[in-house]
Structure 1
Amino acid sequence: MSDEPNTNGKAAEPAQAPRLSIVLQYIKDISFENPKAPAGLQSNVRPEIQIKVDTRATQVSNDGHYEVVIDLEVEAKASEETIFLLELDYAGVFQIANIPPDSLQPLLMIECPRLLFPFARRIVADMTRDGGFPPLMIDPIDFVTLYRQRLASAASQAKAGGTDTALT
């Protein structure tokens, strides 16, 4: 139907399809601390594990390239002593085209991290295993909820102090 003339007498141009592609992905920063080794490795105490997750996105070029980073911090404690501490910033560069401006932020903060997460999860499992512990398999992360929490936090900060509400 795109061959039908429009009101100007010219053929209507087909709309460009939205496009999201991963250009590259990489470890931006990584750290594993095992302060109780070797004694901490021999303990039969099951540590309490806390995981903090954050995401960020920045435009790296004017041709639709964006860097998206998942920040993971994992701390295992037993009796208030740190057994291990893992920090990972896992990133990807995405090329994005033909995305409406109001859909860009959710795409960068939800879909892009969702594509990166399985790779970050594997790195965390390998690091904990290589550190002498059972592999830590992080449960899937709900990036939609994380995004909504960031929106709510930014809105409350803007309301309280008139600060910038940008998420990147």
Structure 2
Amino acid sequence: MSEQEQQTPERQFSVQRVYTKDVSFESPNAPEVFRGEWKPKHDLNINTKVTQLDAALYEVALAVTVTAKTGEDKVAFIVEVQQAGIFSLSGFAESELAPMLGAYCPALLFPYAREVVSDLVVKGSFPQLVLQHVNFDALFAQHQQQAAMEQAAADGVKH
């Protein structure tokens, strides 16, 4: 075994718990919304929040908000779900940790959030809504690029 292999700790990842942290469903224009033609426009908003709980333990919360509006631009429903998980990560380099927490963990949580959204929409008496797959790697890369551009702009202002 080489000296470098002895110094590199083994990377370990485990899911400790997955849970629904917060749920909200509103249908502010019911029952009128059921009387018209159902051709909704959906707006999807996704955010993540990472909280370090201890040296190797993190909570990742995925917030999914779906707003459906009818043809006359009235809100049919708003569903908000915060799906969270507690993840144990150790032995990862700092450069690996951010993508794990910002892309990999949210991708693991998304199917749970998608199921909750679908269930709430059906229980609200609307047609089933199945959210399409989300590429969290691409979203994370976009967020990193935007943060770098904002940092460069802020550095330009300081000089």
| TM norm structure 2 | 0.88
Instruction: From 105, 127, 140, give the equivalent of 2:133.
Output: 140
State the alpha-carbon separation in 2 of the partners of residues 69 and 39 from structure 1: 34
Matches within 5 A, 1:151-162: 151-162=144-155
Partner of residue 166, structure 1:
none
Query: Residues 5-51 of structure 1: CA distance to partner in whole angstroms, max 9, x if unpaired?
Result: x68xxxx8595432111111112221111011122123322110010
Letter in 2 for 1:73: T
Question: Do structure 1's residue 65 and structure 2's residue 57 form an aligned pair?
Answer: yes
Q: CA deviation at 1:161?
A: 2.5
Matches within 5 A, 1:42-57: 42-57=35-50
Letter in 2 for 1:134: P
More helix by share: 2
Q: How many residue pairs align between the two structures?
A: 153
Q: Give the SS at the match of 1:158.
A: helix
State the alpha-carbon separation in 1 of the partners of residues 75 and 148 from structure 2: 35
Instruction: From 72, 76, 79, give the equivalent of 2:68.
Output: 76
Matches within 5 A, 1:11-160: 13=6, 16-62=9-55, 64-78=56-70, 79-160=72-153
Q: Which moved more, 1:34-43 or 1:52-61?
A: 34-43
Letter in 1 for 2:144: L
Q: CA deviation at 1:118?
A: 0.8
Q: CA deviation at 1:100?
A: 1.5
* CA pair 101-14 structure 1, distance change in 2 beyond 3 A: closer
Unmatched tracts of structure 1, length 5 or more: 163-168
Cα root mean square deviation, aligned: 1.9
Q: CA deviation at 1:73?
A: 1.0
| TM norm structure 1 | 0.83
State the alpha-carbon separation in 2 of the partners of residues 26 and 133 from structure 1: 25
Q: Which moved more, 1:50-59 or 1:136-145?
A: 50-59
Q: Percent identity?
A: 31
